[in-house]
Homo-oligomer: A and B are copies of this chain.
Amino acid sequence: MSLDPEIAARLKRTGDGLVAAIVQQHGTGEVLMMAWMDDEALHRTLTTRRATYYSRSRGEQWVKGETSGHVQHVREVRLDCDGDSVLLVVDQTGPACHTGEHTCFDADVLLS
């Protein structure tokens, strides 16, 4: 099984074949994290509703929370107008960030 060709045809990938996945908490609207997806990660996310990404450093798919238990149940997936990012609306279990922070954007404020 692989990604629906009609969806695959709408993707505009980076040089290494990825789109940006923005992850938002259902209800609160908080942006929890950003991760990368290749076609297979998007396919798995759409078919399992368990958020699955692609690790650039390890070169493989990973299921969010597979080791930490901090899984994401995916309620919605939307593709943007030019096909280079998807928005996932999720129910997050536990903190979203591997550092233990609630979101991956909590620690480093560049401008406020």
Contacts and interface: CB of A to CB of B under 8 A. Distances in A.
Contacts of A14: 14-16
Specify how many copies of this chain sit in the oligomer. Answer: 2
Contacts of A97: 81
Contacts of A84: 34
A68 interface: no
Nearest to A4: B110
A112 to B, nearest CB: 5
Interface residues of A, number: 43
A94 B81 CA distance: 17
A81 B110 contact: no
A35 to B, nearest CB: 9
